[in-house]
Chains A and B, each alone.
Chain A
Amino acid sequence: MDHKTALRTRPSASAQVQEQPDVAPLPRRRRAGVRRDGYGALFVSPFVIALTLFMIVPIGYAVYDSLYTTKLIGGTSFAGLDNYRQVLTSSQFWDGAKRVAIFAIVQVPLTIGLATFFAAVFDAGVCRFGKALRTIYFMPFAVPAVVASVMWSFLLLPKLGPFSRLADAIGFHNTNFFSSRLIVPTVILIVVWEWTGYNMTILFTSLRSVPRTVTEAALLDGASLWTIIWRVKVPMVRPAIVMLCFVNTVGALQLFTEPQILAAFQPQAVSFGFTPSLYVYNTAIGSAEYNLGAAAAVVLGVLIGAVSIGSMALRRRSGEFA
């Protein structure tokens, strides 16, 4: 059956419904509705089964595992909250947590600030070659974080990398981008490179959907370009900006790939618990302490969940949810 016949049969169908006698139509229709709505559960079930098997069950199993301890001699025994105590009192874990917090506080506003600026000037059309530039900015989205990190490892290589030579040429001699002082800014640089274009694309699309008449009305009122951007248009896409802050923050707190790859080239720069995700990985896979790793993964999940729910509650209170 094609769409046209479907459309053509519609009027007669609704006429039939109206012609039905008034004898208790409600229960019958509802029963039919329930039977039909049951198909909705069928449509949803493949996804829900996969979700259960590959997310909910594993997480449940990890929680169970985190309550046990396995020793080479003596086997597995119930440990209660011992693993959690160990994670929560581990200075390595908290150092990593502090580091990703600082990382997020700098990286998220920087990424979104740059993205907003470029999205706004592209949207206003006050930048030449806007279309080509937008395409270029979005390209890192297609580059895996592994490849991005490998490229930047070489570009920032002490002494030999082009950026170290550039730093040397402008007076910063012997700059080591992987020193303990610069490693966090270096990771920020890489992540800004990876994600600014994606954020810009979302904001640009949101700004484009603001009706042109808004800009024209502001112009008639004598508003300048910058007033229009910062006072009129950007506030109108605030929900998109808030959502991006949220997504970027959750991503930043999970930081793993970039430092893990940098560690291949600069092992001294990235410690065992450089980020909480690295702590989980190195504990469970590196040191084969699965129970402890599971506890750390649960703690990390709860921390990120708490940040998410907390920021959502804030959003809701300020009436952001539409």
Chain B
Amino acid sequence: MKAASRTDDFVPIHLYGLRRGTVTLITAVAILFALFILAPLVWLVINATKTQANVYQSFGFWFSGPFRLFDNLSTLFKNVSGVGVYAKWLANTVIYALVGGVGATVLSALAGYGFARFAFRGSKAVFYLVLSTLLVPITAVALPLYLVYAKVHLINSIWGMVLPSMVAPVGVYLMRTFIDASVPRELIEAARIDGSSELGVFFRIALPLIVPGLVTVLLLSVVAIWNNYFLPLIIFSRNSTYPLTVGLASLSHAAETGSKSELVPVLIAGGLVTIAPLIALFFVLEKYFRRGALQGSLTG
């Protein structure tokens, strides 16, 4: 990728002829904004170790009182005052994100290949239809899904969450762009002449060439499903089917209104456990996230 390889290629700063202190001033402003970004995350880590009283009474950005992180975590993974089992929510989220993410990636890759390398009848019209669904707000789809699920008994079903998550128009767009750029037509033509079937061409020629694109779409889909709130909120009414986002929201209500004390630091620990896997994933695979962000920017 051109843009990526050029990342470290800066014009030497001294050529700008800046006044002394300008770089320091800009850096200070940027660090200030970084502190704004980091503040809630630091607060989350620190307060996951506190007692409920200390969450409210002590200074938010420093440790205080008994170190309760492990107690909070163990309460979290037990049945929290009948609200639900956090471990179950975590497992659900992993399943929804993985199955939905892999499904979205497979469907996007197949469709992207179909759009990029075949001119079947109506392909343009179908592609524009796919692009136009990008404009459909999630709120306008989630409720209709609920109404249909009520008819076909998909409320509280895993499939009710996983299958719609596989519909990722952005993924189709990204894969089409990626295949256009990285799978030469001549290569496909040559494989056909060698007698390879169309499916064989896709699996043996195209697929190995688009692995980075697949990883990008998979990552973006997993993050989108992991963080999805509106759809699961609407289609799940049973505790045991919740993903983390809906579970945490129900925990928030319980922590605020419930009589059981000590639920607030448990909720905070729950937030920490929710974001930890994604932050870890993000640090390991940062360049794929960046690539996804870049390609997303070319949409439209």
Contact = CB atoms under 8 A, between A and B. Distances in A.
Contacts of B136: 55, 59, 301, 305
B15 A297 contact: no
B16 A133 contact: no
Interface in B158-197: 163-164, 166-167, 169, 172, 186-187, 189-194, 196
Contact of A54 (B17, B143, B163, B271): B163
A291 to B, nearest CB: 9
Interface stretch (B5-13, B70-78, B210-218): B5-13
Interface of A is mostly: helix
B123 A212 contact: no
A40 B118 contact: yes
A39 B118 contact: yes
Contacts of B282: 138-139, 141-142
A160 B57 contact: yes
Given A44-B114, A208-B7, A304 B193 contact: no
B229 A37 contact: no
Interface string B103-129: 000111011011101111111001000
A37 B118 contact: yes
A212 B8 CA distance: 11
A73 interface: no
B33 A126 contact: no
B134 to A, nearest CB: 9
Nearest to B57: A160
A186 to B, nearest CB: 13
Contacts of A141: 223, 282, 289
A308 interface: yes
Contacts of A219: 11, 15-16
B81 interface: no
B190 A9 contact: yes
User: For this complex, into which size category does the number of interface residues on chain A fall?
Assistant: 35 or more
A124 B37 contact: no
Contact of A40 (B7, B106, B114): B114
B3 A142 contact: no
Contact of A201 (B10, B111, B193, B293): B293
Contacts of A20: none
Nearest to A201: B293
A308 B135 contact: yes
A321 B299 CA distance: 11
Contact of A142 (B148, B202, B278): B278
Contact of B113 (A43, A144, A208): A43
Interface string B193-233: 11010100010110000000000000000010011011001
A205 B40 CA distance: 26
B198 A7 contact: no
Interface in A288-307: 290, 293-294, 297-298, 300-301, 304-305
A144 B274 contact: yes
A42 B278 contact: no
Contact of B137 (A58, A196, A300, A321): A300
B139 A209 contact: no
Interface residues of B, number: 119
B191 A124 contact: no
B148 A57 contact: yes
Contacts of A154: 43, 47, 55, 60, 268
B126 A277 contact: no
A150 B40 CA distance: 10
A135 B286 contact: yes
Contacts of B249: 146, 260-261, 264
A160 B56 contact: yes
A275 to B, nearest CB: 9
B280 to A, nearest CB: 9
Contacts of B43: 151, 154-155, 162
Contacts of A281: 139, 143, 230, 233-234
A197 B248 CA distance: 24
Nearest to A312: B300
Interface stretch (A82-90, A105-113, A175-183, A243-251): A243-251
Given A193-B37, A205-B297, A212-B9, A147 B230 contact: no
A257 B114 contact: no
Contacts of A209: 2-3, 6
B294 interface: yes
B267 interface: yes
B132 to A, nearest CB: 9
Indicate the member of B41, B43, B115, B140 with the most A CB atoms within 10 Å.
B140
A32 B83 CA distance: 62
A216 interface: yes
18 contacts: A5-B194, A40-B123, A41-B114, A47-B167, A61-B148, A126-B26, A129-B27, A133-B31, A138-B282, A139-B279, A143-B279, A147-B275, A153-B252, A154-B55, A202-B296, A225-B16, A281-B230, A321-B300
Given A43-B114, A151-B41, 7 more contacts: A46-B111, A50-B167, A61-B147, A145-B229, A155-B43, A202-B294, A254-B137
Pick the 8 closest A-B CB pairs, nearest first.
A40-B118, A43-B114, A301-B140, A58-B144, A62-B144, A125-B10, A47-B111, A44-B114
Interface of A: 1, 3, 5-7, 9-10, 13, 33, 36-44, 46-48, 50-51, 53-55, 57-59, 61-62, 65, 114, 118, 121-122, 124-129, 133, 135-148, 150-155, 157, 160-162, 193, 196-198, 201-202, 205-206, 208-209, 212, 215-216, 219, 224-225, 228, 240, 243-244, 246, 250, 253-254, 256-257, 260-261, 264-265, 276-277, 280-281, 284-285, 290, 293-294, 297-298, 300-301, 304-305, 308-309, 312, 321
